[in-house]
């Protein structure tokens, strides 16, 4: 697994649910944050990345969180969206290497072929009965995977078994 795959837990990340209030969407959220916000299951990288999870619904993610990060996001979006910190309930892993796509394709019922799922794309799906949000950050390919913390050991075990079977 070490040669073809790297599966690393991200420390000190920030993750928050952002739900637009009635009448607000990507443009209003983006203006308030001073960033471009993608529409649909996509993201545009930034210091705070908004991962499209559904209409008017994003996961705000930062790889290096500062204390009070989610309160700052909530303050910028006051009156436009509801923001709820998810950082302590989730784990985020980076999956990269030549076998990364192949491993994910063995578990996620999502088409990860580079012609349809590439950098900037987001999918919320299941792997081994575990709900995950996957986003691809580059062509290497490198993926980030967010999922409930209580499933960390189970998902790591699934990744190890799947990689060993390649």
C-beta of residue 85 within 8 angstroms of C-beta of residue 109:
no
Report residue 59 as tokens: 């996961």
In sequence order, the 6+-apart residues with CB closer than 8 A to the CB of 113 are none
- CA distance between the termini of the chain: 9
Matching residue, tokens 């050991």? 153
The pLDDT value given to residue 56 = 95
C-beta of residue 4 within 8 angstroms of C-beta of residue 166:
yes
Pick left, alpha or beta for residue 76 (phi over 0 → left; psi -120 to 50 → alpha; otherwise beta). alpha
Domains and CATH numbers, the chain: 6-10+89-164 (3.30.1360.120), 14-85 (3.30.70.1520)
Rounded Cα distance between 39 and 61, Å, is 16
The pLDDT value given to residue 3 = 67
114: phi then psi, degrees, rounded to nearest 5: -55, -20
Residue 109 exposed, middle or buried by CB count within 10 Å (0-12, 13-18, 19+): exposed
Per-residue pLDDT of the chain (166 residues; tens, 9 = 90+): 446 799 999 999 999 999 999 999 999 999 999 988 999 999 999 889 999 999 999 999 999 999 999 999 999 999 999 999 999 999 999 999 999 999 999 999 999 999 999 999 999 999 999 999 999 999 999 999 999 999 999 999 999 999 999 8
Whole-model pTM? Answer: 0.93
The pLDDT value given to residue 4 = 79
């Amino acid at each position: 697994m070490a040669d073809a795959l790297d599966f690393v837990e991200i420390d000190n990340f920030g993750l928050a649910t952002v739900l637009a209030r009635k009448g607000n969407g990507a443009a209003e959220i983006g203006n308030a944050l001073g960033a471009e916000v993608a529409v649909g299951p996509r993201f545009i990288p930034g210091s705070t990345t908004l991962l499209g999870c559904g209409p008017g619904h994003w996961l705000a993610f930062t790889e290096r969180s500062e204390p009070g990060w989610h309160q700052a996001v909530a303050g910028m979006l006051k009156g436009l969206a509801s923001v709820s910190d998810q950082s302590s309930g989730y784990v985020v892993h980076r999956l990269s290497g030549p076998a990364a796509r192949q491993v994910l394709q063995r578990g996620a019922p999502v088409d990860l072929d580079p012609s349809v799922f590439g950098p900037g794309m987001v999918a919320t799906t299941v792997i081994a009965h575990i709900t995950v949000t996957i986003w691809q950050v580059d062509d290497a390919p490198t993926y980030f995977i967010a999922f409930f913390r209580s499933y960390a050991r189970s998902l790591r075990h699934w990744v190890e078994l799947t990689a060993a079977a390649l």
